[in-house]
């Protein structure tokens, strides 16, 4: 069981790193071009404020990592859990929202696979919280 928790935590870190770098890259690219960008996976955000929203999402993962690595594990674990819930809910929203359209079945399979991996990352951040809680006696 310890091996499974460790693998889930590793998936959580790797998925978070990949998603944070991707969001940071898209946000910086949108800011550097000065054009309005449309990122349909994040609903309810105006295209002119989308680059800063994506950069903010990315920075929130880095802040959670900093808290986790430098002594504030409870806050870091909680931020990781919230971040993974946010990413999983955004991907679920894309899957079930009628206004979001998929280009082809391959695109649908890609988003479904990403959603599955985000659920694994969510399980990893949840197990990280439960492990920390058990060891600290809280």
Token digits of residue 105: 């079945």
* Span 10-60, pLDDT tens digits: 898 899 899 999 999 999 998 898 877 877 777 778 888 888 989 998 998
**pLDDT of 134 above 70:** no
Closest CA to 90 of 123, 37, 44, 28: 44
* Span 94-132, pLDDT tens digits: 788 877 777 888 888 888 898 999 999 999 888 877 655
Q: What is the pLDDT of residue 136?
A: 52
pTM: 0.80
Q: What is the pLDDT of residue 24?
A: 93
Q: Indicate left, alpha or beta for 34 from its phi (over 0: left) and psi (-120 to 50: alpha).
A: left
Query: Confidence class of residue 138 from pLDDT cuts 50, 70 and 90?
Result: very low
* Span 50-99, pLDDT tens digits: 889 899 989 988 888 888 777 777 888 888 889 889 888 888 887 888 77
Q: What is the pLDDT of residue 28?
A: 92
Q: At what angle do helices 50-69 and 73-96 cross, to 10 degrees?
A: 150
Q: What is the pLDDT of residue 58?
A: 92
């Amino acid at each position: 069981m310890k091996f499974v928790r460790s693998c889930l935590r590793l998936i959580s870190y790797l998925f978070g790193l990949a998603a944070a770098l991707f969001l940071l890259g898209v946000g910086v690219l949108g800011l550097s071009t000065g054009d309005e960008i449309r990122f349909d996976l994040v609903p309810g955000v105006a295209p002119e404020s989308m680059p800063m929203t994506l950069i903010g999402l990315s920075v929130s993962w880095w802040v959670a990592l900093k808290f986790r690595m430098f002594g504030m594990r409870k806050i870091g674990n909680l931020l990781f859990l919230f971040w993974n819930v946010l990413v999983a809910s955004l991907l679920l929203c894309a899957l079930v929202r009628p206004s979001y359209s998929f280009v082809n079945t391959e695109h649908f399979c890609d988003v479904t696979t990403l959603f599955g991996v985000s659920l694994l990352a969510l399980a990893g951040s949840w197990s990280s919280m439960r492990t920390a809680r058990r060891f600290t006696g809280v």
